[in-house]
Chain A
């Protein structure tokens, strides 16, 4: 699991931007080679997963018993075949669709919930804010796997329920980050100025404060996707993840367990895919953090 729970809560200072591609932030990002590599990898993976299955000769569901357990690079199947003779590359890409979709969707939902809760708590403070943050703290008391496991073991596994489940267990960090940001931004001059115009609370929150809190939110979002993809693989490993015949990187890894000695590529390939995707998102997140927070210079 991503063990990097904390994002920077420092105040971002965005200077007036000359143009998007030449903005200092993006320039710093581009200097961060790993982050660029990460971004490129993700773009490539996403495209491959979306377009790839149409370009391949085999589908992911075609069962071809005579060619089961073919090792990679040994014949027409580039990455080999699985115990039912299905083409692994095709399965990998279809599974990638699911895993990436789960990752992005879970992130979207987690961000939505986290931003709303964080904004409301940070803006209104007082009793409502305290109550909300107490609730967030309570949810954070459950080690994430425990929560994931408890809920996933109790529901019927399906793609939407897994997405919801992962989102339910990862919105809290986002809420914390947003709450801290909003709380500090509230005291800044531009916010006070908006109040003095008579702007409504909602307008202040959404039009003034939120855009200035974007930096840590974006970083949190990227790390959230990484976490979601890993979480999906963990749930599948424990047996409660996405069910066949829908492939996901996690359940491909899970069903490869008993064949580790006889057909190790069945486990290595999806494991490598997960690692590659998650590492890329982590690099991007790192790069974004460095790019958007100039105070952490010289790192």
Chain B
């Protein structure tokens, strides 16, 4: 076990290094820079801009800048944002809560609804419900989620007034109920894709389990169908699903970015978008590394859980 973890740690560190090099190169080699926002205003002269560029250390050769960034990173200093000079970790942390809130609630919602739909579909295979569920899941996976979000806002918020048009809470009213009210829209939109994925996987997982010998035996023994489903089949069908969650992290983060944009949710996706627009290099690199760590942790968790769930899986893989 220890050996496995150590090996994974080593691999992950290597991956993070590669990710950092790729990210750094793309960022810095691309046209435009953190001073573009000031050039647009027209107040600052070229001398002013050049002076600031020099002070930010942007004129040094790229490998030098990279090594310095890496060194500071390794000692725990993720740098300061070019925009508000606050520590990058600070900024990420302040945005993280909002994104986690969204990701967790939508995953829960997706799990509950997706599992229910998938299981029912498996039990009543080829019924109308099943066909509709399958088509529905397909469509849910094919709809651009931002379009779905916009429709939700304009029907339920601007149109009916049932939901707020965005934000995490109404200024001046930060109560729990208010926050939940604001969470409804984005949560549903983010859960759309996850629900579809969950329902399809639950369905195929249930079908696999239901055809197993031990289920047939239980039936033959006269155990009531309901009990079979709930106590035996479900538990075994759920296990592999949980491991999938860890691998779902990148998709969730992607979806969160789009949802946050549509609902002006102050999370990491929003931060990433703004930082890229303003070429706030330290923050962009910080978010890239952070999400890479999250993704790696997710896949590690998935592998561990999978091993726990099914001890037959050997870990001699790769």
| A–B direct touch in complex (beta carbons closer than 8 A) | yes
A positions within 8 Å CB-CB of B: 1-5, 34, 130, 133-135, 137-146, 149-151, 153-156, 226, 230, 233-234, 237-238, 253, 257, 260-261, 264, 267, 271, 274-275, 278-279, 282-283, 286, 298-299
Return the contact of A298 from the options B26, B211, B295 (Cβ within 8 A): B211
* A5 CA / B196 CA spacing, docked (Å): 13
CB distance from A132 to the nearest CB of B (A): 12
Return the contact of A153 from the options B150, B158, B276 (Cβ within 8 A): B276
Q: B247–A141 contact, CB under 8 A?
A: no
CB distance from A204 to the nearest CB of B (A): 22
Q: A154–B142 contact, CB under 8 A?
A: no
**From B31, which residue of chain A is reached at the shortest CB distance?**
A154
Q: Which of A34, A133, A138 has the most CB of B within 10 A?
A: A138
24 of the cross-chain contacts (CB-CB < 8 Å) are A1-B193, A3-B141, A4-B197, A5-B251, A134-B15, A134-B18, A139-B22, A140-B295, A141-B296, A142-B291, A142-B295, A144-B251, A144-B254, A146-B288, A153-B276, A153-B277, A155-B30, A234-B144, A253-B144, A260-B154, A267-B150, A279-B139, A282-B142, A299-B207
**From A1, which residue of chain B is reached at the shortest CB distance?**
B254
Q: Which of B61-69, B70-78, B255-263 contacts A (4 or more CB under 8 A)?
A: B255-263
Interface of B is mostly: helix
* A77 CA / B296 CA spacing, docked (Å): 52
Q: A3–B142 contact, CB under 8 A?
A: no
* A193 CA / B173 CA spacing, docked (Å): 74
**Chain B residues with Cβ under 8 A from A153's Cβ?**
30, 276-277
Is B265 part of the binding interface, using a Cβ–Cβ cutoff of 8 Å? no
**Chain A residues with Cβ under 8 A from B249's Cβ?**
143
* A139 CA / B22 CA spacing, docked (Å): 9
Q: B276–A134 contact, CB under 8 A?
A: no
Interface of A is mostly: helix
Q: A1–B145 contact, CB under 8 A?
A: yes
Residues 264-314 (chain B) with a chain A CB within 8 angstroms: 272-273, 276-277, 284, 287-288, 291-292, 295-296
**From A151, which residue of chain B is reached at the shortest CB distance?**
B26
* A253 CA / B291 CA spacing, docked (Å): 29
Is B143 part of the binding interface, using a Cβ–Cβ cutoff of 8 Å? yes
Is B11 part of the binding interface, using a Cβ–Cβ cutoff of 8 Å? yes
Q: B207–A237 contact, CB under 8 A?
A: no
**Chain B residues with Cβ under 8 A from A145's Cβ?**
253-255, 257-258
* A146 CA / B291 CA spacing, docked (Å): 9
CB distance from A62 to the nearest CB of B (A): 27
Return the contact of A4 from the options B11, B141, B291 (Cβ within 8 A): B141
**Chain A residues with Cβ under 8 A from B145's Cβ?**
1
* A234 CA / B211 CA spacing, docked (Å): 40
Q: B143–A275 contact, CB under 8 A?
A: yes
**Chain A residues with Cβ under 8 A from B163's Cβ?**
none
CB distance from B148 to the nearest CB of A (A): 9
CB distance from A35 to the nearest CB of B (A): 11
Q: B251–A275 contact, CB under 8 A?
A: no
Is B23 part of the binding interface, using a Cβ–Cβ cutoff of 8 Å? yes
Residues 10-26 (chain B) with a chain A CB within 8 angstroms: 11, 14-16, 18-19, 22-23, 26
**Chain B residues with Cβ under 8 A from A261's Cβ?**
154, 158
